[in-house]
Structure 1
Amino acid sequence: MIETASYDFAVSFAEDQGEAVEEVVAACRQRGLTVLCEPEQTHEWWARKSEGDLPEAQVRFFVPMVSATDDFVAAMLHAVKAGEQHVLPVLLDDVAVPADLLHPHVNYLRGSESQPHQLAEALAGRVEQAEAAGWGLDRLAAVVTRARAIEPPATVPVAFSRYAEQEAAIRYLGEQLAAAVPALGRHGFVGTVHRGDARVALRVERAGDTLYALDIQRGGIGGDETLNFVVGRHDAGSACTNGWARPVYDTGAGTAKLELHDRSVFGREAAEASTYTREELFTALWKRINTVLAATAA
């Protein structure tokens, strides 16, 4: 039976780092560390190999040298965020790594290609810490394959704007209410909708009596990026609310939504916030309006 080779770590690097990494590896070996590092084993090489084609070895760490962020490096950094303890990225020199790729509570190893012996000392320190903590070795092929397979977490697009969504939502709700209220005439109600930049006001009357009133306003108790809902007639300029909706981004659905904190928009206070698309929120509001009007007509 052939014994599987064991190493303190295996190294991955960008193609243009070859000579500098050789100096770091030489310094590590002088320090007594065992290192797997071949000239062809670049990030691209590790990225395209299937598990069966990767070296059969046991390692304490897989060490990608990070001088720029490509797909393979991003996968390794996501693996660290996900808790993969056998991946140990080295952030080289002044490389700028996007904040969403770094875990806020992980102490990343930083080093300089121009100071290979200092980097070797830092790597040796991490190996000693792992040994003292009782961290065992793992199959190198399994470590790399697991890390590559981790799905990066969905993130909020940089172009997402709460204020743009607020503007779009108040415009949409105003348009939909204005289009819907003429149908109330079939039931003996008169509906009017005032649409302004900062407020939509719906009033439903019968014989001059106001039976339902709803104001949707920009800003309010939830913050100036929210929509504030006031049900019932109230004095102009008064500070009151029956609930508010805050624009949020649903990373799972990949779309903007409104997180409604409902005190009594739909009749009673909700224990938890609910999220709606603009279309879903209008549908729920219109259903509630018709339920209230039906009760007054009974």
Structure 2
Amino acid sequence: MALASFFSQTGSTGVPYVVSEIHALLERLGLRHGVSVSTMWVFFSGCGLAELLLSFLVCTPLERFWPLTTWPKRHSIAADVAYALFVRTVLFPLIAFFEYDWLRHTLDGFLSAHGAPVPTLSWLLPWPPLAFLLSFAILDFADYWRHRLSHRYGWWYGIHSLHHAEDQMTFWSDDRSHILEDAITYVWLIAVGLCIGVPSMQFPFLILGFRFLGSITHANTRVSYGRVGERIVISPQFHRTHHALKAAGRRSSNYGTALPWWDMLFGTARFHDSTVETGDAGAEPALVSGSWGEQQAAGFRRMIRLGRRGRGLLAGKSGS
């Protein structure tokens, strides 16, 4: 009952409800300056950091006690950690809430002013928790195709290859991404969220769900979900197959983010692969172990190089 109440309150009236609750908390704390943009920024930054902490608490034991592989010398993860913090405290609040909320209200206002129905999934699934789960599945389906297309076009793989260049994949690798690709991903998911009527206060938590599951799927662990479990949610080994050294730059397999269903449906699923080595043989050293700025610059350079070759990746070449 409490769960249903939460989801219903984070529906179309979600923003006023949460704002009023935060305002009441500030009142009790003696902070009467009211709710401002900074308050909401702190709230969502806190949610992002809480998700990152949860990922750390779950994945660290998996990698420590049940590792899939070990390395004689570990690369520095400073760039990945720094970018993870940047994403959670800056990009996530800015785009997943503030930008989405503005677009949500702008679109709904425009449709209402012209007598058009406002998109919503409540007509299909009136119980809010089920509508939330359906939204998650739809966004995951959309992200499957975004990810698959990023391997199809050379320029796109150029920036995506920053993620694939990691040859010591751990749960921190989920946050190893090019800022331009993050922008594309957010635009992609925001567009879908707007079309299906995801409420403003639900969209950020859907994104956090993807982030949490993404951290687990990138973990360096031999823990298995079993034959049934890995067909319900993506396992670390399933996603490691996608990161295989032999698959970099090609029309690969296992493109799903959280659910393997789309790979199974469209024939791109590969189960029971014994992949251990990850990386991209065509990636320059800066993509593999450079600083954050060096990685971003190298991603732009590779985007330009592979973009000039058109759709050469379809021929199965990783490029350089």
Q: Same fold, TM exceeding 0.5? A: no
Which of the pair is proportionally richer in strand? 1
TM-score grouping bracket, smaller chain normalisation: under 0.3
Asked which structure has the greater RCO (Cα within 8 Å, sep 6+), the reply is: 2
TM-score, normalization by structure 1: 0.25
TM-score scaled by length of structure 2: 0.24
Q: Which has the higher helix share?
A: 2
Q: Point out the structure with max Rg over C-alpha.
A: 1
